[in-house]
Amino acid sequence: KAGVTQTPRYLIKTRGQQVTLSCSPISGHRSVSWYQQTPGQGLQFLFEYFSETQRNKGNFPGRFSGRQFSNSRSEMNVSTLELGDSALYLCASSAETPAVGELFFGEGSRLTVL
């Protein structure tokens, strides 16, 4: 069974640019959630999608957005990048809501903003 796939694994952007990250969940999982991980803050919840609908959202500015497609693949977008957006962005898939079901994480997308 293939795991969660995130692309790209590494990327470098400059301030003001935008970025799109992709996540393919485990086959059959309809929930995809996104997290930002920084050394100082640890893991922070961004949002969760289930069957193409955003079910839950963390406390991040509107520059962070996401969507989910009919095949459960998900993308997140960060517009007008700031230096503080440099982080490891993780997605996780689950057969149930993340708070109940087991989370399977991808390897992450490492974003560096210069």
Partner 1 sequence: KNQVEQSPQSLIILEGKNCTLQCNYTVSPFSNLRWYKQDTGRGPVSLTIMTFSENTKSNGRYTATLDADTKQSSLHITASQLSDSASYICVVSGGGANNLFFGTGTRLTVIP
User: Where along the sequence are the contacts to partner 1 (CB under 8 A)?
Assistant: 4, 41-45, 56, 90, 92, 97-100, 102-108, 110
In total, the chain counts a number of residues equal to 114
The DSSP bridge pattern shows strands 53-57 and 109-113 to be unpaired
> Least Å distance between CB 16 and partner 1?
27
> Least Å distance between CB 87 and partner 1?
13
Strand-by-strand arrangement of the 19-24 sheet: 5-7, 19-24, 74-78, 64-68
Nearer to partner 1, 2 or 100 (CB): 100
Nearer to partner 1, 12 or 43 (CB): 43
Which residue has tokens 């009919």?
70
Nearer to partner 1, 72 or 109 (CB): 109
